[in-house]
Each structure stands twice: as C-alpha cells, then as structure tokens.
C-alpha cells in the first residue's frame, strides 16, 4: 500500500511540475504588463510629467499582445535573461477632475520572464479626440 501511494506521488509530480515551470514563466511575463511594472511606470510618469492633471494612481495597464521573438523560426534568447518577447500594452490614465476622457496610450517593449526593463518602452497616444481633425478634402 505504501509503495502505491509513492508511485501516485511520483506520477503526479511528473505530470504537474513541468507545467508549474511554464506557469511561473507566464506569471513573470504577465507582471511585465501590469501597472506596477517598469514599462507602465515609465510611460505613466512621462505622461504625468507632460500633463499634471492626469491621475497616475488610477491608471490601468492591460496586455494587448505578447509574441516570442524569433529569427528563421529559432527563438531569440539573451544569455542573461532567456527568451525575448515583444509586448504591447494599453495604458489608460484618467484625469483628476474626470472632465475629459482618460488618456489612452499603446506601449511597446522588449521583455523576458526575468526582466521587464530590457528596453525603453515606446508609446503612442490614441486618446479619442486628442488630435485636431483635418477637414481638408
């Protein structure tokens, strides 16, 4: 009976430990898209620096897409930090007075599961009505 239980534990461990490894990588990557991540912090701080009416404490960051970087179907791996990914996020920063729609930014960065700050993030403001309309035909 005792050996039977040990065998079950071994089979259970073999089935789930590899998944745990992938799960931890996914969790580390998911952190890079959160408001608390380095990418979001840098973009939010830069936006607030340009417009102090933004409420950085109520900002929200969500993942749009994340892709493994590859060249000719081979993964691009950085020796220190592992597999590299391109990540796109959407950051919404409301205004303190809520009188106008929140600022909406699309960000792009290169990350790994071990490091969210491999590159300076780039970002683009897609806030509705934030640009004058061109009425020329």
Residue 8 in any domain: the answer is: no
Residue 98 in any domain: the answer is: yes
More confident residue, 53 or 132: 53
Residue 13 in any domain: the answer is: no
Residue 7 in any domain: the answer is: no
> Domain tally for the chain?
1
- Residue 94 CB neighbour total at 10 angstroms: 18
Residue 25 in any domain: the answer is: no
Residue 40 in any domain: the answer is: yes
What range does the domain containing 38 cover?
32-125
Lowest mean pLDDT among 3-12, 24-33, 69-78, 116-125: 3-12
Q: Which residues of 35-73 are buried (b: 16+ CB within 10 A; e: fewer)?
A: bebbbbbbbbeebbeeeeebebeebebeeeebeeeeeee
DSSP letter, residue 101: P
Contact 61, 90 (CB under 8 A): yes
Residue 81 has pLDDT above 50, yes or no: yes
pTM of this structure: 0.75
What does the pLDDT read at residue 21? 40
Residue 23 in any domain: the answer is: no
More confident residue, 18 or 6: 6
What does the pLDDT read at residue 5? 61
Residue 1 in any domain: the answer is: no
């Amino acid at each position: 009976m005792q050996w039977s239980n040990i065998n079950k534990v071994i089979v259970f461990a073999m089935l789930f430990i590899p998944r745990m490894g992938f799960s931890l990588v996914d969790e580390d990557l998911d952190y890079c898209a959160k408001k608390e991540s380095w990418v979001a912090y840098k973009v939010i701080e830069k936006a607030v620096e340009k417009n102090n009416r933004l409420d950085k404490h109520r900002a929200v960051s969500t993942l749009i897409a994340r892709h493994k970087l590859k060249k000719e179907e081979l993964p691009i791996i950085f020796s220190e930090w592992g597999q590299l990914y391109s990540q796109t996020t959407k950051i919404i920063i409301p205004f303190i007075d809520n009188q106008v729609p929140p600022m909406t930014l699309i960000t792009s960065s290169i990350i790994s599961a071990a490091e969210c700050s491999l590159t300076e993030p780039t970002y683009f403001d897609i806030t509705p009505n934030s640009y004058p309309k061109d009425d020329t035909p």
